Amino acid sequence: MRSLRVLGALTVLLLTTSVLSAGAAPGRSPGPRPGPAGPSLVLDRDASYFRFDAATDARGTTYVGWLSSRSGGEPGAEVHLCVLPVGTTRCAGGVQTIDALERLSAEQLFVVASGDRATLVWHHRNGPDATGDPMQDRIATAQVVGGVLRPAVDVAQVRSETSLLAVTAGPRGIGAVLVSGPDDDARTLYHYDTLAAAPSTVRAPYPVGNVEMADDGRSTVMLIGEYAADADPVRVAWKPSGSGSWGAFRAVAGTETDHGTARLAATRRGIRLLATARDRKKGGDRSVVASWDPSRHTFRRPVAGLPGQSCATGGRDLHTDASGRFASVAIGCDRLAVGNHQTAGVGALKEFPVGLTATDVDARIATAPSGRGWVVWVATDRSSLVARPIRLPALTRTVTSRAPFGRVRLTVPVSCLPAVSAPAGVKVRAARGWRVKRTSLRLGRVKVGRAINGAALRPGRKYVLKVDVRVARGQARRAWSTRVRFTTCGRP
């Protein structure tokens, strides 16, 4: 093969397609930037929070729920909800509040969403005082229908002195995992395939500090982390979805418990794990991602998840949507790190200051297929619960095309492209004796500038990126074209 030398190099942005949306031209306007998409919204303040959560339904409406109490007020917690339809910047109808059924013991609230509605789930004791009844605890739910929070009802009677550590919307309904109380050193787990079913009992190898659960319709996977542990690997167990018994917990090599920051998500492409691992080259910690192997019943080797991530690795949360991705958020050093994990490999990262000093303990994220969403965290300023709209960053990949007289290397969006400004480009290297005469980068008939404006493309459509290259050597002329296809993210 002939040796190559660089005769010309261009770094420009490209896209070719036959269908464009109305409005700004994708090749002429840089488009919205990833990261914050509007000002912060204070949902609550001067309160103690017993857990908060967020989820987005199929219409793109985000539901933020939380349990909180205020000093000087009536003792105990109340359940609160903020409904954020697509494009809004305030809670529709204001913050809604209902009774938690047992204010003094209500704790651990989760939000799950599907279709056009959401469900709030939490744990409480049946009565203000312990009675010695081994089944005194309850799981309560409150439905959100038409944007209205309905009164709470108890849906499951559970063992006393347990803690609700995981809730998931599986293929058969809402499932949950509770862990036994201090008398058992938190080693016994109770798995509810649905809240209407009897639980199965799973024994953990050590006191459990956190639990994650994911069900993709083929496998149900449970992740545990040891209480107060840091460097030890997380462990997972599995069973067939909807039937069968749990296997033994096995360590996931290449991960660390990191005080309970590992998370699971069931995406359209399978179950994913996002965890912390030691960065042996640079020192410190890094995020790693792994995909579940349903035939071997284990996670594949973890790979780098978000290269370049700073100390914002605490309070991690994941959210899946109909695009097939999972989105992540982590918090630390008064910064939020938002990730777009469209594949089982490296994700796209965007970090930004929170604007209000964060507690660095917890953060939540909920997104729609378009890449629009919300992040939620607690700020130290008057102990405020804060939400902020965000746009996910675009994920890119490199494609190389070779010809006898040169090489083209393209940086292109990975499907699906969110409604944001996406980095892309082309570098041309001509073969020895040839020189680059022209490189044409177009989106339809429009010459592309310095950015691909994903917001100006039609949602859920297929596009073709095209570059035309012409080279010369003396009187000889050669030309070749390269095309790469991708899709934009769908609505909402």
User: pLDDT tens-digit profile of 296-310?
Assistant: 999 999 998 888 777
Tokens 């109808």 identify what position? Answer: 93
Q: Report the pLDDT value the prediction gives residue 142, as an integer from 0 to 100.
A: 98
Bridge partners (DSSP) listed for residue 210:
225
Distance CA 150, CA 143 (A): 5
Higher pLDDT, 484 or 76: 484
416 upstream amide cis, omega within 30 of 0: yes
Bridge partners (DSSP) listed for residue 148:
145
CB atoms within 10 A of CB 471: 24
What's the chain's average pLDDT? Answer: 87
406-413 and 396-403 strand pairing: antiparallel
Write b or e for each residue in 368-386: b if 16 or more Cβ atoms lie within 10 A of its Cβ, otherwise e.
bbbbbbbbbbbbeeebbbb
Give the model confidence (pLDDT) of 233-289 as tens digits.
Answer: 999 999 999 888 999 999 999 999 887 889 999 999 999 999 988 877 777 778 899
DSSP 172-188: TEEEEEEE--GGGTT-E
What DSSP element (H or E) covers 401?
strand 396-403
The closest alpha carbon to 452, from 13, 129, 99, belongs to 13
Contact between 94 and 113 under an 8 Å Cβ cutoff? The reply is no
Q: What is the pTM of this model?
A: 0.89
List domains and CATH numbers for the chain: 1-34+394-492 (no CATH), 35-391 (2.130.10.10)
The closest alpha carbon to 225, from 237, 239, 207, 241, belongs to 207
**Residue 4 carries which DSSP code?**
B
Q: Report the pLDDT value the prediction gives residue 17, as an integer from 0 to 100.
A: 34
Q: Report the pLDDT value the prediction gives residue 8, as an integer from 0 to 100.
A: 35
Q: Kindly indicate the confidence band of residue 220, based on its pLDDT and cuts at 50, 70 and 90.
A: very high
Residue 279 in tokens: 């960065």
Tokens 């790190």 identify what position? Answer: 337
Least confident of 186-200, 274-288, 413-427, 469-483: 274-288
Q: Report the pLDDT value the prediction gives residue 19, as an integer from 0 to 100.
A: 36
pLDDT for residue 354 is more than 90: no
Give the model confidence (pLDDT) of 175-184 as tens digits.
Answer: 999 999 776 6
Q: Report the pLDDT value the prediction gives residue 72, as an integer from 0 to 100.
A: 64
Q: Report the pLDDT value the prediction gives residue 135, as an integer from 0 to 100.
A: 86
The closest alpha carbon to 162, from 193, 119, 130, 194, belongs to 130
Question: What strands, in cross-sheet order, belong to the sheet with 96-99?
Answer: 48-56, 62-69, 78-84, 96-99
What DSSP element (H or E) covers 105?
none
The closest alpha carbon to 443, from 14, 29, 23, belongs to 14
What DSSP element (H or E) covers 301?
none
Q: Report the pLDDT value the prediction gives residue 13, as an integer from 0 to 100.
A: 32
pLDDT for residue 451 is more than 60: yes
Distance CA 79, CA 65 (A): 7
Q: Report the pLDDT value the prediction gives residue 331, as an integer from 0 to 100.
A: 86
The closest alpha carbon to 486, from 366, 323, 349, belongs to 323
Contact between 487 and 462 under an 8 Å Cβ cutoff? The reply is yes
Question: What strands, in cross-sheet order, belong to the sheet with 406-413?
Answer: 396-403, 406-413, 425-430
Tell me the mean pLDDT in the region 353-381. Answer: 85
Contact between 68 and 78 under an 8 Å Cβ cutoff? The reply is yes
Q: Report the pLDDT value the prediction gives residue 2, as an integer from 0 to 100.
A: 35
Q: Report the pLDDT value the prediction gives residue 23, as an integer from 0 to 100.
A: 45
pLDDT for residue 27 is more than 80: no
Q: Report the pLDDT value the prediction gives residue 18, as an integer from 0 to 100.
A: 32
Residue 323 in tokens: 């695009």
Tell me the mean pLDDT in the region 438-467. Answer: 84
pLDDT for residue 332 is more than 50: yes
Least confident of 58-67, 110-119, 427-436, 439-448: 439-448
Q: Report the pLDDT value the prediction gives residue 260, as an integer from 0 to 100.
A: 85
Residue 439 in tokens: 């490189």
pLDDT for residue 128 is more than 60: yes
pLDDT for residue 345 is more than 50: yes
Q: Report the pLDDT value the prediction gives residue 279, as an integer from 0 to 100.
A: 78
Q: Report the pLDDT value the prediction gives residue 22, as an integer from 0 to 100.
A: 38
Distance CA 472, CA 406 (A): 11
Q: Report the pLDDT value the prediction gives residue 21, as an integer from 0 to 100.
A: 41
492 upstream amide cis, omega within 30 of 0: yes
Tell me the mean pLDDT in the region 141-152. Answer: 96
Q: Report the pLDDT value the prediction gives residue 489, as an integer from 0 to 100.
A: 96
Give the model confidence (pLDDT) of 358-367 as tens digits.
Answer: 665 789 999 9
Distance CA 459, CA 322 (A): 13
208-215 and 200-203 strand pairing: unpaired
